[in-house]
Amino acid sequence: MPWGVQPSRRRFLASASALPILAFAGGAMARSISGTLPWQAFAGEPPKPVNPLGWFFFTPDEVATVEAIVDRLIPADSLSVGGKAAGCAVFIDRQLAGAFGKSSKLYMKGPFANGLPTQGYQGTLTPEGRYRDGLRALNDHVRTGHAKSFAQLAPHDQDAMLAGLESGQLDLKLAQGLSTRAFFELVLQNTMEGFFADPLYGGNKGMVGWKLVGFPGARYDYRDHIEKHNVPYPKGPISIYGES
Q: Is 28 in a helix, a strand, or coil?
A: coil
Which residue's CB is nearer to another protein, number 76 or number 171?
76
The Cα 104–Cα 95 span in angstroms is 12
Least gap, CB of 147 to another protein (angstroms): 26
Considering the complex, state which of residue 11 and residue 173 has its C-beta at the smaller distance from another protein.
11
Nearer to another protein, 147 or 227 (CB): 227
Burial (CB count <10 Å: 0-12, 13-18, 19+), residue 157: middle
- Cβ(183)–Cβ(134) under 8 Å? yes
Q: In the bound complex, what is the minimum distance in angstroms from residue 244's beta carbon to another protein?
A: 14
d(CA 219, CA 222): 8
Output the smallest distance, CB 22 to another protein, in A: 7
Find the shortest distance in angstroms from Cβ 107 to another protein: 4
Kindly tell me which of 26 and 54 has the beta carbon lying closer to another protein.
26
Distance between CA atoms of residues 181 and 170, nearest Å: 9
To the nearest whole angstrom, how small is the minimum distance from the Cβ of residue 118 to another protein?
4
Closest CB 65 distance from another protein, rounded Å: 16
Q: Which residue's CB is nearer to another protein, number 26 or number 60?
A: 26
Nearer to another protein, 31 or 136 (CB): 31
List, as one string, the DSSP characters of 107-156: ---S------GGG----S--HHHHHHHHHHHHHHHHHHHHSS-GGGS-HH
Per residue, what are the HEC states of 180-211? HHHHHHHHHHHHHHHHHCCHHHCCCHHHHHHH
Residue number, 51 or 167, with CB nearest to another protein:
167
Q: What are the b/e assignments for 213-238, b being 16+ CB within 10 Å? A: eeebbeeeeeeeeeeeeeeeeeeebb
What span, in angstroms and rounded, lies between the C-alpha atoms of 136 and 165? 14
CB of 191 to another protein, least distance (A): 8
